[in-house]
């Protein structure tokens, strides 16, 4: 082997990043990404500091203002960041906090007993990733200000006048050389601040969007705290218990606050927080809660003969189905996995949460026997459904089926063996299916026609779902299995395309299929494999010239372009097209229009599916009345 010519590698090749250079060099390490989530993380870091002041008992108001040019201002009425000279850095305390990583009052444990921003990089990180930042501090009867560019001081700290109030204001403009997008999303900000308002009872939040001609103003303040949050989360869903469970205790210097309720829904919603920081990936606090809940319910069920000796225990999924829960802890020095704080890693928190929930939930079940009965009976129903689903799944997904040997008779498969090249068209009706089978490219395109409208899975358990013939065929064709044995590696087609008629019935079938995929095949959506075909609305012909039109605006444009007589055909069904037209307009990879199904906000998608497809009528009626005037192309 030929020896590679060595290059000089000496001490001068070792780079030492100073000040805030690490943040600018590797921003994703600190904020998770330089996309939309990372952009909003800048606001969260500033707000977290204001919340810390409120939790410590010094702030009562937090204001967030959005201006044109991606400028944001976050202000509070806390004590204000100190401005005197720091004994170790020789700079003002404000400049030290703004320009140095791991500098702040949250390490000593005297100023803040608990805090969301314990890493000490929050506001300095915002400074590092901003093309401009201005910090204003009101304290000791005066107002002070200092400006920065790209994390470095632009001006000296100056006293700009007297002040009768106290507090800190951070105004910044994200660096557009770092962030892919710099437009802040008002809905995202409102959702986050509403959540924070529930978690910090009595703290007033105000959001003002100055970007429009008429400013938009929103305010939040909830005295009920987590209890009010729980009520907001369950919305119109029917509670199965008269008394929601709630506990708040401090043990080993860790504050535990848990609220939960069971509803008649199938979905589970668990939100976990540490020092007001939403931990989307959970962590030790959520693990402790789940362990305690499962054990207490199993013990109670056996003690009261709901579970017999021959029965196996309820699983974690059994006891959590239909549950909405909030687990919030305040920890002096939490250990997060990463700066974005998505997961708590502090081991002792699990033990504390588990013991608090075990004791309190056991007392709750004994104190409210009627509520306990309703909870256990729901767990039993889920338990029996899970066992029935396993039997049904085994009957549908036998060994040969899982291996892809036994496929549905109605499926017209393609000849390619490479999943990345294969496409599955889910087509409504035998007529459209027949046209699609003739129109397709047999090498890469498979056709699965469905008869009528599939089962609404939002209202059904998995054992009933697997007894539905149309869903059986779909599950078998896709190859991933379903439920707790779902495996994305078994996916037989990397493009699954829903192709329905451009009318009300077609839209309903499309919604039913989207509900099925969202609830039981979500990784297919998450990994970009689900699409919606867009067939044309009109065929406009003038002489021998034909144009297919997909939108109302295009229709008007095409009509204006014709100088002589023309005819318009409105397509309501795919079966109205001959195979050549269907191929040219909807199936040809070179000319078709496909919409990829994505989930930007899973919680909002979950809420909308509940409204549109769930049991409760009232929220669906409100939704229809609200958006009735915006409906287009409604077939009557």
DSSP assignment of 492-504 equals: S-SEEEEE--SSH
Residue 503 among the catalytic residues? yes
Q: Please report the pLDDT score of residue 557 as a whole number.
A: 86
Under-50 pLDDT residues of the chain:
1-3, 9-17, 104-113, 115-120, 399-405, 602, 633-636
Residue 606 among the catalytic residues? no
Q: Please report the pLDDT score of residue 490 as a whole number.
A: 92
State how far the Cα of 262 lies from the Cα of 245, in Å rounded to an integer: 9
Domain boundaries, the chain: 21-220, 226-392, 400-535+579-603, 538-570
Q: What is the pLDDT of residues 342-397, one digit of tens each?
A: 899 999 999 999 999 999 999 999 999 999 999 999 999 999 888 877 776 666 55
**147, 348, 505, 606: the active-site residue:** 505
Residue 635 among the catalytic residues? no
Q: Please report the pLDDT score of residue 340 as a whole number.
A: 61
DSSP assignment of 70-127 equals: GEEEEEE-SS----SBPTTTSSBHHHHHHHSTT-STTSSSSS-SS-S-TTS-HHHHHH
**503, 554, 576, 606: the active-site residue:** 503
DSSP assignment of 317-333 equals: HHHHTTEEEEEEEE-SS
Residue 317 among the catalytic residues? no
538's enclosing H/E stretch is strand 538-542
Q: CATH number of the domain at 226-392, please?
A: 3.30.230.10
**48, 175, 428, 584: the active-site residue:** 428
Q: What is the pLDDT of residues 9-30, one digit of tens each?
A: 444 443 444 567 778 888 878 7
Q: Please report the pLDDT score of residue 26 as a whole number.
A: 80
Q: Please report the pLDDT score of residue 1 as a whole number.
A: 47
9's CB contacts (< 8 A; 6+ apart) are none
Hey, what CATH class is 21-220 in? Answer: alpha beta
What is the separation, in whole angstroms, between the first and last Cα of the chain? 78
Q: Please report the pLDDT score of residue 611 as a whole number.
A: 60
Q: With a threshold of 0.75, does the pTM exceed it? A: no
Instruction: Classify domain 400-535+579-603 by CATH architecture.
Output: 3-Layer(aba) Sandwich (3.40)
**269, 423, 501, 610: the active-site residue:** 501
């Amino acid at each position: 082997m030929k020896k590679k010519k060595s290059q000089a590698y000496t001490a001068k090749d070792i780079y030492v990043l100073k000040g805030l250079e690490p943040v600018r060099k590797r921003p994703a390490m600190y904020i998770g990404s330089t996309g939309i989530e990372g952009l909003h993380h800048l606001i969260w870091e500033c707000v977290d500091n204001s919340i810390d002041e409120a939790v410590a008992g010094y702030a009562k108001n937090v204001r967030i203002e959005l201006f044109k040019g991606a400028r944001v201002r976050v202000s509070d009425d806390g004590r204000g960041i100190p401005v005197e000279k720091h004994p170790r850095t020789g700079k003002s305390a404000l400049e030290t906090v703004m320009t140095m990583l791991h500098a702040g009052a949250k390490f000593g444990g005297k100023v803040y007993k608990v805090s969301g921003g314990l890493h000490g990089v929050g506001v300095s990180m915002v400074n590092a990733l901003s093309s401009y930042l201005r910090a204003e501090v009101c304290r000791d009867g005066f107002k002070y200000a200092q400006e920065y560019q790209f994390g470095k001081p632009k001006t000296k700290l100056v006293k700009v006048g007297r002040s009768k109030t106290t507090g800190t204001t951070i105004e910044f403009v994200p660096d557009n050389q770092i962030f892919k997008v710099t437009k802040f999303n008002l809905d995202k900000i409102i959702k986050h601040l509403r959540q924070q308002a529930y978690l910090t009872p009595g703290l007033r939040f105000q959001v003002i969007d100055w970007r429009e001609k008429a400013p938009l103003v929103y305010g939040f303040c909830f005295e009920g705290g987590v209890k009010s949050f729980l009520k907001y989360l369950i919305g119109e869903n029917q509670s199965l218990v008269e008394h929601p469970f709630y506990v708040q205790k401090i043990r080993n210097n860790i504050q535990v606050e848990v609220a939960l309720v069971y509803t008649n829904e199938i979905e589970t919603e668990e939100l976990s927080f540490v020092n007001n920081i939403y931990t989307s990936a959970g962590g030790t606090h959520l693990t402790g809660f789940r362990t305690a809940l499962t054990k207490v319910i199993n013990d109670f069920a056996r003690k009261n003969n709901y579970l017999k000796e021959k029965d196996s225990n309820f699983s974690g999924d059994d006891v959590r189905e239909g549950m909405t829960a909030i687990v919030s802890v305040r920890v002096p020095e939490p250990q997060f996995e990463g700066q974005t704080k998505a997961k708590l890693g502090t081991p002792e928190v699990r033990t504390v949460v588990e013991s608090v929930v075990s004791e309190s939930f056991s007392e709750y079940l004994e104190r409210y026997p009627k509520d306990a009965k309703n909870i256990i009976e729901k767990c039993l129903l889920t338990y029996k459904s899970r066992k029935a689903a396993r039997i049904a799944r085994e009957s549908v997904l036998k060994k040969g089926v899982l291996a892809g040997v036994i496929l549905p008779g109605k499926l017209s498969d393609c000849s390619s063996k490479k999943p990345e090249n294969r496409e599955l068209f889910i087509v409504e009706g035998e007529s459209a299916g027949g046209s699609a089978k003739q129109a397709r490219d047999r090498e890469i395109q498979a056709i699965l026609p469905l008869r009528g409208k599939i089962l609404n899975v939002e209202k059904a358990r998995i054992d009933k779902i697997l007894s539905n013939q149309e869903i059986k065929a779909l599950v078998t064709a896709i190859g991933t299995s379903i439920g707790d044995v779902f495996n994305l590696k078994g996916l037989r087609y990397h493009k699954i395309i829903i192709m329905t008629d451009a009318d009300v019935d077609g839209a309903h079938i499309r919604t039913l299929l989207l509900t099925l995929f969202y609830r039981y095949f979500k990784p297919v959506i998450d990994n970009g494999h689900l699409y919606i075909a867009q067939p044309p609305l009109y065929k406009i012909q003038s002489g021998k010239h034909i144009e297919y039109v997909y939108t109302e605006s295009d229709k008007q444009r095409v009509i204006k372009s014709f100088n002589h007589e023309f005819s318009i055909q409105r397509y309501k069904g795919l079966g109205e097209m001959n195979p050549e037209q269907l191929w040219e307009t909807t199936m040809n990879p070179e000319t078709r229009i496909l919409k990829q199904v994505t989930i930007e906000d899973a919680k909002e998608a979950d809420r909308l599916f509940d409204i549109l497809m769930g049991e409760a009528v009232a929220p669906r009626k409100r939704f229809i009345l609200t958006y009735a005037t915006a409906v287009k192309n409604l077939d009557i």
